[in-house]
């Protein structure tokens, strides 16, 4: 299994050029590209939030606690005294950081359901409405963030599988196959909850038409096969 530093580094190295490519091709502005790179890097940490002693779970819950505290300040400002707002924000952060994190650790198992492609889909599905509704980002940007979250989380799973293979000794570790999986079939209830999380995230997500318009160049033929045949027939003309 790859360590925290490796996951962060590889996710950042792969996400950054892809985000830059989106900017160069005109699919995103500079601010969006930066958010995409950060989302991909963050996604590279998410599968390890089920590891009780990992740096990933501490970082994620610190960020989540800061988010909750920020929302408390935003919604209570002007309704309470300043010291009350500050106290409520601090309490909110501490509640997320300790009791909620502790409860989360009790109900999760490392490399369980949260360490799967289905969980990655849920992370992405929940990231889209969060970016759109809470941070008031455009629909296209929100969907881009969700896509990069999924990308980073999937990179994490692939890395863990690669680290299960010892090239020097040509040996496959017993952990091989436990990282890159659709879901943990031994936990059907948890899998159902992940599917519900995906459904809820999609329900509250904005329309993805902005990204569909990006791929407007896609051939308007009855079938993709027809288009491919036409393109292949046109290849000889390139050499003439």
pLDDT attached to residue 101: 86
Q: What is the pLDDT of residue 223?
A: 57
For residue 15, being part of any structural domain is answered with yes
Tell me, what's the pLDDT at 167? 44
| Residue 237's pLDDT band (cuts 50, 70, 90) | low
Between the alpha carbon of residue 27 and those of residues 9, 14, 124, the distances in Å are 25, 18, 19
Q: What is the mean pLDDT of residues 49-70?
A: 83
Angle at 135 between CA 149 and CA 192, to 5 degrees: 45
**Residue 170 lies inside a defined structural domain of this protein:** yes
In-domain check, residue 17: yes
DSSP, collapsed to helix, strand or coil, labels residue 77 as strand
Has residue 34 been placed in a domain?
A: yes
In a domain, 127, yes or no: yes
Neighbours of 155 (CB within 10 A): 24
> 105-109, 114-118, 198-202: which has the minimum mean pLDDT?
105-109
Q: Report if residue 103 sits inside a domain.
A: no
CA-to-CA dists, residue 15 to 42, 73, 157, 168, 231, angstroms = 10, 32, 15, 29, 31
H or E element, residue 65: helix 55-76
pLDDT, tens only, 158-193: 988 887 755 444 555 555 556 678 888 888 898 999
105 belongs to a structural domain: no
Specify the number of domains making up the chain. 1
Is 122 within 8 Å of 201 (Cβ atoms)? yes
Range of the domain at 180: 4-51+110-239
| pLDDT over 70 (residue 231) | no
Give the per-residue pLDDT at 143.
95
Give a yes or no: residue 33 inside a domain.
yes
Average pLDDT of the chain, as a whole number: 83
Asked if residue 112 has pLDDT above 60, the reply is: yes
C-alpha span between 240 and 230 (Å, rounded): 17
5-9, 34-38, 57-61, 132-136 — which one is most confidently predicted on average? 34-38
Decide which of 6 and 220 is more confident.
6
């Amino acid at each position: 299994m790859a360590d925290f530093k490796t996951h962060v580094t590889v996710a950042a190295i792969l996400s950054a050029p892809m985000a830059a490519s989106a900017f160069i091709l005109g699919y995103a502005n500079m601010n969006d590209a930066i958010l995409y790179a950060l989302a991909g890097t963050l996604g590279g940490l998410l599968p390890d939030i089920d590891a009780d002693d990992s740096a990933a779970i501490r970082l994620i819950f610190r960020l989540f606690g800061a988010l909750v505290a920020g929302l408390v300040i935003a919604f209570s400002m002007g309704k309470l005294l300043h010291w009350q707002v500050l106290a409520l924000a601090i309490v909110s952060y501490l509640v997320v950081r300790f009791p909620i994190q502790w409860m989360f650790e009790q109900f999760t198992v490392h490399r369980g359901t949260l360490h799967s492609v289905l969980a990655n889909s849920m992370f992405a599905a929940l990231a889209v409405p969060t970016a759109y509704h809470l941070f008031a980002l455009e629909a296209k940007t929100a969907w881009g963030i969700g896509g990069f979250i999924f990308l980073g989380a999937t990179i994490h799973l692939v890395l863990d599988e690669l680290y299960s293979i010892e090239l020097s000794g040509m040996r496959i570790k017993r952990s091989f196959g436990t990282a890159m999986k659709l879901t943990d079939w031994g936990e059907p209830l948890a899998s159902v909850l992940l599917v519900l999380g995906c459904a809820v995230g999609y329900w509250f997500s904005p329309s993805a038409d902005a990204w569909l318009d990006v791929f407007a160049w896609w051939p308007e033929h009855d079938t993709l096969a027809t288009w491919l045949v036409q393109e292949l027939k046109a290849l000889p003309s390139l050499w003439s």
